[in-house]
């Protein structure tokens, strides 16, 4: 499966407990087809203290979301949209919103 999303893309979650929320992609795990989205799907983890500078405790961190459960977010349409990839005359690729036609 080819990955069409990139780091720092704004996406909307389309399924699961976080459905309807939007956020920015922090990390992509292409082997497992999962994405980590900023402030979405938060979990608590217990961490042992490693040194005086790194105290232990309970921290919140993002859990992965399956790539099939997210869609690219269009700023102009203000919702999750499908997109197509087109190339200009110089050969540069651009992602185009299928609803409004604007570049994402």
How many structural domains compose the chain? 1
Long-range pairs, 14-19, Cβ under 8 A, ≥24: 14/69, 14/70, 14/71, 14/80, 15/68, 15/69, 16/41, 16/65, 16/69, 17/41, 18/65
Residue 89's pLDDT is 86
Asked if residue 1 belongs to a domain, the reply is no
Asked if residue 2 belongs to a domain, the reply is no
Residue 2's pLDDT is 66
Residue range(s) defining the domain that contains residue 28: 10-97
Residue 83's pLDDT is 92
Asked if residue 52 belongs to a domain, the reply is yes
Residue 87's pLDDT is 92
Asked if residue 35 belongs to a domain, the reply is yes
Asked if residue 103 belongs to a domain, the reply is no
CA distance 37 to 25: 4
The parts of the chain modelled with pLDDT lower than 70 are 1-2
Residue 1's pLDDT is 57
How many Cα atoms are found within 13 Å in the side-chain-facing hemisphere of 40? 28
Supply the CATH number for residue 82's domain: 2.30.30.30
96, 84 Cβ separation under 8 angstroms: yes
Q: Give the predicted TM-score (pTM) of the model.
A: 0.86
């Amino acid at each position: 499966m080819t990955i069409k999303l990139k780091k720092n893309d704004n996406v909307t979650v389309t399924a699961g407990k976080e459905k309807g929320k939007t956020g920015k992609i922090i990390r992509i795990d292409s082997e497992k087809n999962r994405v980590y989205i900023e402030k979405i799907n938060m979990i608590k983890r217990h961490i042992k203290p490693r040194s005086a500078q790194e105290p232990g405790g309970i921290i919140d961190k993002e859990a992965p979301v399956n790539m099939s459960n997210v869609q690219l977010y269009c700023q102009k349409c203000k919702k999750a949209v499908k997109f197509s990839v087109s190339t200009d005359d110089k050969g540069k690729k651009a992602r185009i919103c299928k609803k409004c036609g604007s570049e994402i």
